[in-house]
């Protein structure tokens, strides 16, 4: 006999992980928090969609044409299946919607990154720095091989020498740590599971804070970084913000964090978070094993019936 409650447990645990991840990530140092939210988002989204696919397949497996490929007994599978046909049909519809949405989102984000790279590759540059002749203050990082930091002449005129150094250190941190990929993965996981949208927003804030702290380490003055990003954000408030830039995210909270003492990592909180991710994976493994036993029982019944018919 297969009980229905364990079949739905991965959905509940992955939902709990998705809701807890932003809360935990905001209470960790930016670098640790960004990695923690990225890992949690991948685990939660992967568990979510895999579990939905497992639940859907319990109904798909009862289609005679599919059962012949097993082969397994449709009657035994239907009798032992703890998932109702309606629930499985809904899960199948959600999985199909996720596949379509993920394909569209991947195409759009990929095209946006390629378009940004194409627009900036012809700008005259010195090393990884490209200066755009534009009075509107702007500064952002563009992913590429290699990546490039793009800054406008208006932004350079706005800041003094030390502030410019802090700003460029921030943007170079984005390139060095591939923060564009963090943002891409967090966005795609939020497409898979809408409960991860707060993690996407918290992750975007974390990578900006990560770059802020890196810039503070480079210039040796976190208050200088706070002043530089505040002035840059105030001057460029009318411009369209880039995905990863010194003026991205909630700037007042970033400035406040830079003026406060750095956060310290809590090993106990991290351990509890890892346990929750492990529980998520373990619950999915249990469900997959139970589903495998379900189909094995149906296959055994089919084999036994076939042997009796040949006697």
- Predicted confidence (pLDDT) per residue in 195-253, tens digit: 999 999 999 999 999 999 999 999 999 999 999 998 888 877 655 555 566 666 788 89
201-29-181-254 Cα dihedral, nearest 10 degrees: 50
- Mean pLDDT of the chain, nearest integer: 84
Residue found under tokens 């563009």: 142
Are the C-beta atoms of 229 and 254 separated by less than 8 Å?
Answer: yes
* CA-to-CA separations, 49 to 4, 12, 43, 96, in angstroms, rounded: 18, 13, 10, 10
155 CB contacts (<8 Å, ≥6 apart)? Answer: 137, 138, 139, 167, 232, 235, 236
Cα dihedral sign for 238, 244, 249, 253? Answer: negative
* Selection from 1-5, 52-56, 247-251 with the highest mean pLDDT: 52-56
Across 58-62, 87-91, 223-227, the highest mean pLDDT is recorded for: 223-227
Instruction: Give the pLDDT band of residue 302 (cuts 50, 70, 90).
Output: low
What mean pLDDT do residues 125-129 have? 71
Residue 9: band (very low, low, confident or very high) from pLDDT cuts 50, 70, 90:
confident
Compare 108 and 144 and report the one with higher pLDDT. Answer: 108
Closest listed residue to residue 151, CA positions, set 287, 169, 162:
169
* Whole-structure pTM value: 0.85
Percent share of the chain, pLDDT over 90: 41
């Amino acid at each position: 006999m297969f009980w229905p409650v364990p079949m739905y447990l991965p959905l509940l645990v992955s939902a709990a992980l998705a809701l807890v991840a932003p809360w935990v990530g905001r209470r960790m140092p930016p670098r640790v928090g960004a990695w923690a939210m990225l890992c949690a988002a991948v685990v939660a989204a992967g568990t979510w969609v895999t579990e939905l696919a497992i639940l859907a397949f319990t109904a798909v497996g009862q289609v005679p044409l599919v059962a012949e490929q097993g082969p397994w007994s449709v009657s035994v599978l239907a009798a032992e299946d703890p998932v109702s046909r309606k629930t499985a049909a809904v899960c199948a519809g959600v999985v199909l919607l996720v596949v379509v949405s993920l394909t569209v989102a991947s195409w759009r984000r990929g095209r946006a990154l390629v378009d940004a790279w194409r627009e900036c590759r012809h700008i005259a540059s010195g090393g990884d720095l490209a200066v755009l002749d534009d009075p509107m203050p702007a500064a952002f990082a563009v992913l590429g091989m290699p990546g490039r930091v793009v800054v406008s002449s208006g932004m350079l005129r706005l800041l003094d020498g030390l502030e410019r150094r802090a700003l460029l250190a921030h943007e170079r941190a984005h390139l060095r740590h591939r923060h564009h990929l963090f943002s891409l993965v967090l966005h795609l996981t939020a497409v898979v599971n809408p409960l991860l949208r707060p993690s996407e927003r918290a992750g975007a804030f974390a990578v900006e804070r990560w770059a802020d702290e890196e810039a503070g380490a480079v210039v040796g003055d976190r208050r200088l970084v706070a002043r530089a990003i505040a002035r840059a954000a105030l001057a460029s408030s009318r411009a369209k913000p880039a995905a990863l830039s010194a003026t991205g995210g909630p700037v007042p909270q970033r400035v406040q964090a830079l003026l406060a003492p750095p956060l310290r990592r809590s090993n106990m909180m991290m351990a509890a978070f890892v346990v929750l991710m492990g529980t998520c994976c373990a619950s999915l493994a249990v469900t997959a094993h139970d589903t495998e036993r379900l189909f094995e029982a149906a296959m055994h019944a089919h084999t036994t019936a076939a042997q009796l018919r040949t006697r």
